Structure 1
Amino acid sequence: MKFVVDTHSHTVSSGHAYSTVLENAAAAAQKGLQLLCVTDHASSMPGAPHYWHFANQKVLPRFLHGVGVLRGVEANIMNTDGEIDILPKVEDNLDWILASFHEPVFAPSSREAHTQALLNVIRSGRVDALGHLGNPNFDFDFERVLVAAAEANVLIEINNSSLSGSRVGSQPRCERIAEIGKEVGVMFTTGSDAHFAYDVGKFDSALALFDKVKVDESSIVTTSASRFLAFLHRRGRSPIAEFQSLR
């Protein structure tokens, strides 16, 4: 199994990352990726860019270093109502919305509060995927959330950075999330969560987890460009003409 799409990457614009879009795209090309999602932190995260950073992503070329570039965001889950910090008018300029908990924005609370927030995010219909759910600071009812995600066609991310030590304690939780997700019919995505170009397309830990849990390749949308683009189409997003030849 090989992953050819990285759906979670940060640039220097996030305020605590260290590479440019061009540097990330060059690294993606070296790793053999077909598509790269640019997902800088939305504006509520300390140090994150102004919303115009996201509204103006239309200036990004569709291909850099031969890698297709998707215009995205890692939005912050703001509260138990499931609100995210991207204005609806900005969504029209984006191809991909990933939503995650971050401690500086949503202070860790109770299991039920986290569960309600995730369920409401899913029900909002505004997000394509939920990021780094293995974070032990944000416990939640795995089964309720994963069933809801499967029913709403929202992807569950297996975050390579979490599995590599950035969120200590994530490994067993990610394994359980993958096990339950497999049982209830979740579709998965893979994100490097790179904050430096060398980590773009790094999926070694995610691959090992999928192998251990025996998740079928057909349930992971990042195993081919066409599979990922077909998912976006099912989500109601308009086809990206420049990517139609990708397989």
Structure 2
Amino acid sequence: MQLYADYHTHTLYSHGTGSIRANIEVAIEKGLKEIAISDHGPASRSIGRLGVRDSATLLEVKKEVDKYDRLYPEIKVLAGVEANIISIDGKLDVPEFILKELDKVLVGFHLFIKPASFRDGVEIILNNVIVDKLKINQEQIRYRNTEILINVLNNYDIDIITHPGYRVDIDTKTLAKVAVERGVVLEINSSHGYMTEEYIRMAVEEGAKFTLGSDAHSPEKVGAVEAAMLVAQKVGLTAEDIINVC
């Protein structure tokens, strides 16, 4: 299998270190035919801002992407976002009218975010930190995390769930089943190193489709999906199972 597209790359617009143009040129050097610029949504927070300045910035990214798409005819350049879940009822940090202007909508369940309310912060952030550190209420919080993701799938038309299960416990089979029903692809993320063969096999049993994502935060990492590819091959996935390989 050979990678022909990387749909998960970041730039200086959010938590990345390179420009859109730099990401594109590395993608071309590596022989890719498509690349998506999918910077973090505005709710991404840590000590400082990790996401785009505001949702309107994504429209600026779209204009720049369209310019480079014309400038580099050898590759298809797509405007996207890695939106954040900010509420337990499945609200994202990007308005739907802006999502509709983008070519690829990725959604990540992140813990370093500004939640919609105090209660949302407790259930999205605090409860998952408790699970991770103290190992209590695991079944209850796994159910809740899965329910939150399913709410997102039912609320929005999205393309990809990024790194499902990273830092949050989820019911893989249930999520995969709903993702298949909604036509949503699950990412095998090459950066975080948590993905297990067992997880992928459970999703495969439900008929899930996958994408290999670099999650590049610097231009040189664009298209670097070797770790994801290795896991996919161990499980026996083929090009029919993965949307961005041939």
Q: Same fold (TM over 0.5)?
A: yes
One of 154, 167, 171 as aligned partner of 2:195 = 171
SS of equivalent to 1:149: helix
TM-score (norm 2): 0.83
The answer (yes or no) to whether the contact 1:134–1:162 under 8 Å persists in 2 is: no
SS of equivalent to 2:83: strand
2:30 matches 1:25: no
The answer (yes or no) to whether the contact 1:75–1:98 under 8 Å persists in 2 is: yes
2:161 matches 1:153: no
Report deviation, 1:64: 5.1
Tell me the C-alpha RMSD between the 2 structures: 1.4
Q: Which residue of 2 aligns with 1:139?
A: 169
Q: Which residue of 2 aligns with 1:122?
A: 153
The answer (yes or no) to whether the contact 1:22–1:64 under 8 Å persists in 2 is: no
TM-score (norm 1): 0.82
Distance 1:55 1:119 in 2: 27
For the pair shown, the structure with the greater C-alpha radius of gyration is: 2
Letter in 1 for 2:151: N
Distance 2:8 2:160 in 1: 10
Report deviation, 1:63: 4.5
Distance 2:35 2:85 in 1: 23
One of 65, 85, 94 as aligned partner of 1:86 = 94
One of 196, 202, 215 as aligned partner of 2:237 = 215
Report deviation, 1:75: 0.1
SS of equivalent to 1:13: coil
Distance 1:151 1:51 in 2: 28
Letter in 2 for 1:124: N
Distance 1:93 1:146 in 2: 26
Report deviation, 1:190: 1.5
Letter in 1 for 2:156: G
Report deviation, 1:59: 3.8
Q: Which residue of 1 aligns with 2:109?
A: 101
- Mark the runs of 5 or more structure 1 residues left unpaired by the alignment: 164-169, 225-247
SS of equivalent to 1:23: helix
Question: In 2 relative to 1, CA 64–201 (structure 1 residues): closer, same or farther, beyond 3 Å?
Answer: farther
Distance 2:174 2:232 in 1: 21
One of 204, 210, 213 as aligned partner of 1:191 = 213
Report deviation, 1:215: 1.1
The answer (yes or no) to whether the contact 1:25–1:64 under 8 Å persists in 2 is: no
Q: Which residue of 1 aligns with 2:76?
A: 68
Distance 1:9 1:179 in 2: 26
User: How many pairs were matched up?
Assistant: 214
2:30 matches 1:54: no
Question: In 2 relative to 1, CA 181–63 (structure 1 residues): closer, same or farther, beyond 3 Å?
Answer: farther
Distance 2:190 2:71 in 1: 23
SS of equivalent to 1:223: coil
